[in-house]
Amino acid sequence: MQNNLKNPPTRPARALLGAALTAAALAAAALGGCKSPAPAVPAAPQAAKEAAPAPLPAEPTPAAALLPPASAPAAAVAEDPATTYVKYCSLCHGNLREGYAADNAPSLKSLTFLQTASTQFLVDSIARGRPGTAMAAYGSEFGGPLSGPTVAALVTWLRQDAPQLLPIDATLAVGDPQQGQALFGQKCADCHGAPTQRATAVHLFNQVFLALASDGFLRHAIVYGRPGTDMEAWDKELKPEQIEHLVAYLRSLAVAGAAQPPPPPAGPPAEPWVESPVLNPTGQHAEFQLKDDRLVTPEAVNQALVQKRRIVIADARAPSDWSRLRIPGAVSLPYYDLRNIDKIPNDGTWVIAYCACPHHASGVVVDELRKRGYKHTAVMDEGIFAFQHKGFAVVASEGGVPTPAPPAYDQPHLHPGLHAVPPALPAPVPGAAAAPVPALPVPAPAPVAAPPAPAPHR
């Protein structure tokens, strides 16, 4: 299930995984948008806008202590950053960092993005991820696979041919959130969605993104766009005061304290792998009718679980995502680390893989299973967020901001490249000003030789 798009589609199709490491992380940063009008947007809160996040203090994040050791894999040793990128990021961001390979992951070569994304912004984005999207938290302190030095080396590699950072206008937005809300509905919502509904471009209401992105960062992206993507420069169409209204609207929707990843679900720490991954081992074998010889609906998966059919459920996302939201009984089998794949019995039991992108990471797992001769394998169409929003049982963290609904598609079972149906915008999510997020220390990366060009990712 690979998307070979060379250029971002007119309206990027949703695809893969939050896997895309820097990918999604930087993704959320790379404001991608489009110009089509959309339905009315959620009303902006009346509260006065707060100051943009100040430089984040270099201190350990308290959220690290919330992750049980049992669900935190050993941090990866610093490695060649090109290898790191191919292994974790290229699936969504493309082998050449061109973006839009999956899950609408933006280009990591965009000039205006690289001119304004600081090292600290990139480090925090990769480590913390973008909760509620396919971009997992990849930092080891949040249960991800990458150590601090590995993240730092990756950021250095991403910036190796980047332009010099520009001084971002630090002026706080002086616009009116109410007027910004109206402008957002006219100019932005068709691509960027709403607080509780993702669309085809970066979800600008993501609380980690809002905590890390200053008003100046947002302003620069709107004014200059993201060349090479659907995000146009709006300086010719919008007046300066209108841009201020938009920034003020986005800032008004930040929720205090919501930028920290939620703790794992209550109860004893869960193990990402168990001796036998088979659910309901004495039950009848599940039966599925596949779409395109590959996909099974969330409804069919839920029915098999309710009927206690014999089945294996594999979560193809990073363990940090698995620990905070998963289908009950699912084992963690990250797309980038398949060392446990042979523990799945090859005896005719159905193996269903899912991710959040919604097909690419799980597709990696299914492709490997089929290569090894497993007869009954399938990808759960639309991924974990669609499963959750359909009201089916999940194991989830308590508290935090509700997960936004995934994008709506006219043909959800097909692969990337399709156009999305613009979502209807739901009622507004009340929000207060976002509290500053403690920054992760930026470790000095070990010197590395000039990295080779990324090898093609399966």
Contacts of 139 (CB under 8 A, 6+ apart): 126, 127, 128, 146, 148, 151, 440
pLDDT at 442: 54
Same domain for 353 and 241: no
Residue 122's nearest CA partner among 242, 251, 22 is 22
Same domain for 302 and 248: no
The domain in which residue 372 lies consists of 295-396
Same domain for 360 and 221: no
| 267 vs 142: CA distance, rounded Å | 18
Question: H helices then E strands: how many in the chain?
Answer: 15, 7
Terminal C-alpha separation, the chain: 9
How far apart, in Å, are the Cα atoms of 253 and each of 60, 213, 397, 432, 433?
Answer: 26, 13, 22, 7, 7
| pTM for the model | 0.74
Same domain for 304 and 248: no
Note whether residue 95 is domain-resident: yes
pLDDT at 380: 98
Count of domains for the chain: 2
| 317 vs 306: CA distance, rounded Å | 23
Same domain for 310 and 212: no
Say if strands 325-326 and 351-354 run parallel, antiparallel, or are unpaired: unpaired
Say if strands 295-296 and 325-326 run parallel, antiparallel, or are unpaired: unpaired
Burial of 439 (0-12, 13-18, 19+ CB in 10 A): buried
pLDDT at 71: 34
Note whether residue 242 is domain-resident: yes
Note whether residue 105 is domain-resident: yes
pLDDT at 103: 76
How many residues does the structure list for the chain? 458
**Long-range own/partner contacts, residues 158-165 (CB < 8 A, 24 or more apart):** 158/22, 158/26, 158/81, 158/85, 158/97, 158/108, 158/122, 159/114, 159/119, 159/122, 160/451, 162/114, 162/115, 163/111, 163/114, 163/115, 164/115, 165/115, 165/116, 165/118
Note whether residue 190 is domain-resident: yes
**SS3 assignment, position 192:** helix
Residue 213's nearest CA partner among 434, 404, 64 is 434
pLDDT at 255: 81
Give the angle subtended at the CA of 88 by the CAs of 30 and 147, to the nearest 5°: 95
Contacts of 456 (CB under 8 A, 6+ apart): 95
Longest dimension (CA), the chain: 66
Q: Among 375, 396, 417, where does a domain finish?
A: 396
Q: Which H or E run includes 85? A: helix 81-88
Same domain for 306 and 233: no
How far apart, in Å, are the Cα atoms of 319 and each of 104, 178, 274?
Answer: 22, 40, 14
Peptide bond into 443 cis (omega under 30): no
Q: Which H or E run includes 377? A: strand 377-380
Same domain for 222 and 356: no
pLDDT at 399: 65
Note whether residue 219 is domain-resident: yes
Beta strands in 202-306 (DSSP E): 295-296
Contact yes or no for 420/15 (Cβ under 8 A): no
Same domain for 192 and 131: yes
| 404 vs 193: CA distance, rounded Å | 10
Note whether residue 214 is domain-resident: yes
Q: What CATH number corresponds to the domain at position 308?
A: 3.40.250.10
Contact yes or no for 93/16 (Cβ under 8 A): no
pLDDT at 78: 58
Q: Among 349, 367, 396, where does a domain finish?
A: 396
Note whether residue 100 is domain-resident: yes
Contacts of 298 (CB under 8 A, 6+ apart): 380, 381, 382, 386, 387, 390, 392
pLDDT at 418: 25
Q: Among 184, 219, 252, where does a domain finish?
A: 252
Render each residue's pLDDT in the chain as its tens digit; 458 residues: 333 333 333 333 333 333 333 333 343 334 444 443 443 444 444 433 333 333 333 332 322 232 233 333 444 445 799 999 999 999 998 899 888 788 778 788 889 999 999 999 999 999 999 998 999 999 999 999 999 999 999 999 999 888 899 998 888 999 999 999 999 999 999 999 998 888 888 889 999 999 999 999 999 999 999 988 889 999 999 999 999 999 999 999 988 766 666 566 665 556 677 778 999 999 999 999 999 999 999 999 999 999 999 999 999 999 999 999 999 999 999 999 999 999 999 999 999 999 998 899 999 999 999 999 999 999 999 999 999 999 999 999 876 667 888 886 443 333 332 222 222 333 333 333 333 444 555 555 544 444 344 444 33
Same domain for 158 and 73: yes
> Which stretches of 177-254 are DSSP H helices?
177-187, 189-192, 207-212, 215-224, 240-252
How far apart, in Å, are the Cα atoms of 232 and each of 229, 279, 326?
Answer: 7, 49, 37
Same domain for 248 and 309: no
Note whether residue 234 is domain-resident: yes
Contacts of 239 (CB under 8 A, 6+ apart): none
Contact yes or no for 381/321 (Cβ under 8 A): no
Same domain for 384 and 305: yes
**SS3 assignment, position 106:** coil
Same domain for 243 and 306: no
